[in-house]
Amino acid sequence: MFFTFIQFLQAQQSDFKTIDFTKAEYLAERYKGEELTNLPILAHHLTYTLDTDVERFRAIYYWVCHNIKGEYGLMQKNNRKRQKLKDHPAILHAWNHQFKRQVFKKLINDKETLCTGYAYLIKELSRLAGLECKIVNGYGLDGSMKSKNLDIPNHSWNAIKLQGKWYLCDATWSSGFTDVTTELFEFDYDNSFFLMKPSIFIKTHQPVDETWTLLPEK
Amino acid sequence: MKTLCIPKQQNVLKTGIALGIFLIIALCTTTVNAQETERTVTGQVTSTDGVVPSATVLLKGTYVGVVCDDDGKFTFPQKLKENDVLVVTSLGYKDREIKITGNTTYIEPFLDDIPLIIIGSLRTKATPTSSDIKKK
């Protein structure tokens, strides 16, 4: 009984099952291919005709997941460098600064990025549409790794506040996958990472700050 | 003599008041004129890393604006007047608001950096999808 109650309390996609996302998705489709050079206008176009915050967020999330590609080379380069420089914070900091510029340039020019780029874009578009959104850093666990093997955070995703409640989502993993042999990205929208139930999300996403598991405290 | 002096003083006083009023009116008109002087504003967006290409410059509260060129340069498409506020936005930087004052025709908005640590993990073909997790 208690367990059912907790399940019911968890912030998840089904909280909005009465809301039809057709219009939000239609808007995302309509503005497919738009450039990232004019974010305020893009945020406005994607959201201004929608009635609820969850629809506005849906349009932003759907647009990002269908327009931004994962860049495997960028990810590998970053991971190698972070691992190599993990004991040299000053050098790592300087490297991160110049790499950050490179990442944003790639995102704006080619609409290709890695997870921080996805999470940042979701946050920025949300902010411009008047929504409160955060970037959560942590450990993303795919089949090949376990958290204990990761000594530095390797993934970022978002928490979004809707109707006064925080929800979790991961646009990077929703958008598609990279074929490791060819290193090519393929769009393959996975809706389950949109406002996923925290008790399932935690299996693949462990935040550095435990508050963002959104699970009830033990 | 006295009777002659009084009108003279009154005259001086009157002239003084008239001049004062004239000056006040003149000043007000100039201020109004300055506020109403519309001008074309150009500029260049910069940051600690130099010029910022492709930033967006919008008139606050509207969607009237322009995207900067590769050198961060822009010419605002609408004439601006005093107290208009421009909002400069670019991915990876904090927004900057610039108020148009006096006879401003050229601005150099400086965008502050955002503290962001770049990390990355992408879904690869080996990554389990949520349906796989549920099956477990």
Would A85 be classed as within a structural domain?
Answer: yes
The pLDDT, as a whole number, for residue B17 is: 75
Asked whether residue A218 is assigned to any structural domain, the reply reads no
Question: Between B119, B122, B134, which is nearest A178 by CB?
Answer: B122
pTM assigned to the model? 0.83
Comparing CB atoms, the residue among A78, A173, A200 nearest residue B118 is: A78
pLDDT along chain B (136 residues), means of 10: 51 74 64 68 95 94 94 96 95 95 93 90 67 48
Nearest CA in chain A to B55: A37
pLDDT attached to residue A151: 74
Q: What is the pLDDT of residue B1?
A: 43
- Residue A82 belongs to what domain range? 2-213
Q: How confident is the model at residue A141 (pLDDT cuts 50, 70, 90)?
A: confident
Q: How far apart are CA B55 and CA A38, in angstroms?
A: 8
Interface test with A, best of B122, B125, B129, B130 (most A CBs within 10 A): B122
Strand B42-44 to strand B106-107: parallel, antiparallel, or no bridges (unpaired)? Answer: parallel
CA dihedral over A186, A192, A198, A199, signed as positive or negative: negative
Q: Is residue A144 part of a domain?
A: yes
Distance, C-alpha A24 to centroid of its chain? 18
Q: Which of A131, A135, A155 is nearest to A145 (CA)?
A: A155
Q: Over the stretch A73-121, which tens digit does the pLDDT of each residue have?
A: 888 888 888 889 989 999 999 999 999 999 999 999 999 999 999 999 9
Q: Cα–Cα distance between A19 and A49 in angstroms, integer? A: 15
For tokens 């490791």, the residue is: A180
Q: Which residues of B touch A79 (CB under 8 A)?
A: 120
Helix axes A39-47, A22-30, angle to 10 degrees: 150
Interchain pair A142, B58: CB under 8 A: no
Nearest to B56 among A37, A79, A172 (CB): A37
Number of domains in chain A: 1
Q: Does residue A145 sit within a domain? A: yes
Q: Is the pLDDT of residue A150 over 90?
A: no
State the average pLDDT for chain A: 90
pLDDT of residue A6: 55
Least confident span in A166-175, A189-198, B30-39, B51-60:
B30-39
Centre a 10 Å sphere on the Cβ of residue B20 and count the other Cβ atoms it contains: 10
A21, amino acid identity: F
Contact A37 B123 (CB under 8 A): no
- Domain CATH for A55: 3.10.620
